[in-house]
Amino acid sequence: VQEGASGALPKPGYAANVAWSILNYKIVHPQYADRLVYLQLWNEPHDQRDRVEPDVYADYLVAAHSAVHRAENEAAAAHPELGLQGTLKTMTPGQNGPSWWDEAFSHNPDAKFAFDVWGTHPYPEATPPHYNLHDGDVFIETSKTVDSYLMDLDVVAMPHGNPPRSRRGFPVMITETAYGKKLGISYEGWPKTSRQMAADYNVDAYGNRWYRWPEIIAVHPFILSNWAWRDFEWINSASWEDQDGDGID
C-alpha cells in the first residue's frame, strides 16, 4: 500500500481508501467476504528509492493501522452477516535493519502494536540457508541470512518509551525473497552465486528451513514473472504462450 516513492511522504488516508475499496468489493461479492487480505504498509522505507525517515514512518504506521481497522470495524458493523471483522491484516514493510527500527520505536513505541503481521524481506543471495540465526551462531553478513528478521524482532521486544513497551509472539510473513536472476554476488566467506547455487539455496530454504519455523505463515518469492521488471523474474514473461489452448499462459 504505497501511493508514492522517492521522497513522497506516506498518507494514512490512502491506506484507508485502499481498505474501503477492498471492503466494498467484499460487500458486493459476499462469497469473498471472509477472505483474508494482507496490506503491507509501504515498501522498504530504509531504501533510498522509497525513503521515509524512521520517525515519520513510525507515526504513519500507527495512523495507517488505525485507519485500516477503523474502516474494517465500520464495514463489519454495517454488515454483521458477512463476517468482515478480522479479515484485513496490516503488515510492516520489508527489511530495514535493527538500528532503523530502534530509531522508529524510540520515536513512537506505539508503532510496535500497529501491525498484525511482521512483513519482511530476508535475502538468500550468497549466504547459504544453513547459515542462519535459528540453527547456530551468525557472525558475518548477519543482515543477509534467510532469517535476518529475527534481529528486527529482538528490537520490537526491547523496552521503548515511558512506560516501556515491548512485544513478541506475532506472526511473520516473508513478502520478498529468493531472487531468480540475482547471480554473481559474493559476501565475505561465501563464493559467488551461480544459477545452480541459487537454485540449491532456495530449495534448501523452502524445503528445510522456513516451513519449520513456527512464526512464519507464508513466504513469497520475488518475482515469479513480471512484464515490467524482468531483471529478477524466475520465468521470462516474454516466453509465455498458451500451450494447450485453454486460454492460460
CB–CB of 100/46 below 8 Å? yes
Give the count of beta carbons closer than 10 Å to the beta carbon of residue 20.
16
Are 224 and 234 in contact, with CB atoms under 8 Å apart? yes
Q: Cβ distance 224 to 240 under 8 Å?
A: no
pLDDT per residue rounded down to tens, the chain (249 residues): 999 876 788 999 999 999 999 999 999 999 999 999 999 999 999 988 899 999 999 999 999 999 999 999 999 999 999 999 999 999 999 878 899 999 999 999 999 999 999 999 987 777 889 999 999 888 888 888 999 999 999 999 999 999 999 999 999 999 988 776 667 788 878 888 887 888 888 899 999 999 999 999 999 888 777 777 777 777 776 666 665 565 655
User: Can you read off the three cell numbers belonging to residue 179?
Assistant: 531472487
Compute φ and ψ for 152, nearest 5 degrees: -70, -40
* CA–CA distance, 152 with 105 (Å, rounded to integer): 11
The answer to whether the pTM exceeds 0.85 is yes
